[in-house]
Amino acid sequence: QVWQDHCPHRGVALSMGEIVNNTLVCAYHGWRYNEAGKCVQIPAHPDMIPPASAIAKTYHCQERYGLVWVCLGNPVNDIPEFPEWDDPNYHKTYTKSYLIQASAFRVMDNSLDVSHFPFIHDGWLGDRNYTKVENFEVKLDKDGLTMGKYQFQTSRIVSDIEDDSWVNWLRLSHPLCQYCVSESPEMRIVDLMTITPIDEDKSILQMLITWKCLRMLDSKTLESKLLTEYDETIE
């Protein structure tokens, strides 16, 4: 579980408190909460049984792929599948977290709009000399939306690989998670993009990146190039 950062007594941030004997102690009046979020002791009235309403709001959470996933309601779907993350044949890394001045759904809409690549990401994800978007497949089923296979101008990220036959496809199985595959005969890059809403106008974006080369390339050099491209693309 994760907790709302709010003491039900006086509204103080519970994150200001401390852990004592497996209970969370509020910094303001010392109210103690057990693992379920229920108040078990009020120091000012040690003989009183805390009221049933003295319970911190908690949410479902699970750790996977090195991230903490939180659901504010009752979970409807499982966490997105990302098998490459645990596959020893793939290298893996994280980007930093980016604060985006846009709503979460606006960020997702932007990532699906490949026609802006040549103009906003010229030299990385696109080329202004190649602006035409060829037809690609879009499928919507019970597992979500799948989009591909589509191609765009090869970026500098793979300048060490003399191969222009890159094909891309992506899947949205959750509203704010995107699983994207870019592959050629010599390399496969798979990433999972997560978007966390902060409010109506701000979001946090993070990418988990995996890659596999079918010929020898320096892993650290390639990781640096990957992170550089993702950083410059998002910034």
Looking at residue 60, its pLDDT comes to 92
Structure-token match 């792929």, residue found? 65
DSSP conformational letter for 26: -
* SS3 call for 6: coil
Looking at residue 159, its pLDDT comes to 47
Looking at residue 193, its pLDDT comes to 94
Task: Tell me how far apart the alpha carbons of residues 25 and 18 are, in angstroms, rounded to a whole number.
Answer: 5
- Give the other-Cβ count within 10 Å of 102's Cβ: 16
Class of the 77-234 domain?
Answer: alpha beta
- The closest alpha carbon to 40, from 27, 28, 23, belongs to 23
∠ CA 10-15-19, nearest 5°, is: 105
CB 104 within 8 A of CB 203: yes
Task: Tell me how far apart the alpha carbons of residues 16 and 66 are, in angstroms, rounded to a whole number.
Answer: 25
* SS3 call for 190: strand
∠ CA 122-181-97, nearest 5°, is: 70
Domain 1-56 and domain 77-234 have a common topology: no
First to last CA, the chain: 33
| Residue extents of the structural domains in the chain | 1-56, 77-234
Residue-averaged pLDDT of the chain: 85
Structure tokens at 134: 């060829």
pLDDT exceeds cutoff 80 at 81: yes
Please tell me which of 95-104, 121-130, 138-147, 164-173 the model is most confident about, judged by mean pLDDT. Answer: 95-104
CB 191 within 8 A of CB 209: yes
∠ CA 105-108-111, nearest 5°, is: 155
Residues 6+ apart with CB under 8 A from 77: 173, 174
- Say which residue, 32 or 170, is predicted with more confidence: 32
Could you please state the CATH topology (level 3) that the domain comprising 1-56 is classified under: Rieske Iron-sulfur Protein (2.102.10)
Looking at residue 168, its pLDDT comes to 80
pLDDT exceeds cutoff 70 at 210: yes
The DSSP H or E segment spanning 67 is: strand 67-71
Residue 18 pLDDT grade (very low, low, confident, very high; cuts 50, 70, 90)? very high
User: What pLDDT digit, counting tens, does each position of 110-161 carry?
Assistant: 888 888 888 887 776 777 887 888 788 889 987 788 887 776 555 555 544 4
Q: Which amino acid is at 194?
A: T
β partners of residue 58: 3
* SS3 call for 216: coil
Region 155-168 average pLDDT: 55
Looking at residue 231, its pLDDT comes to 73
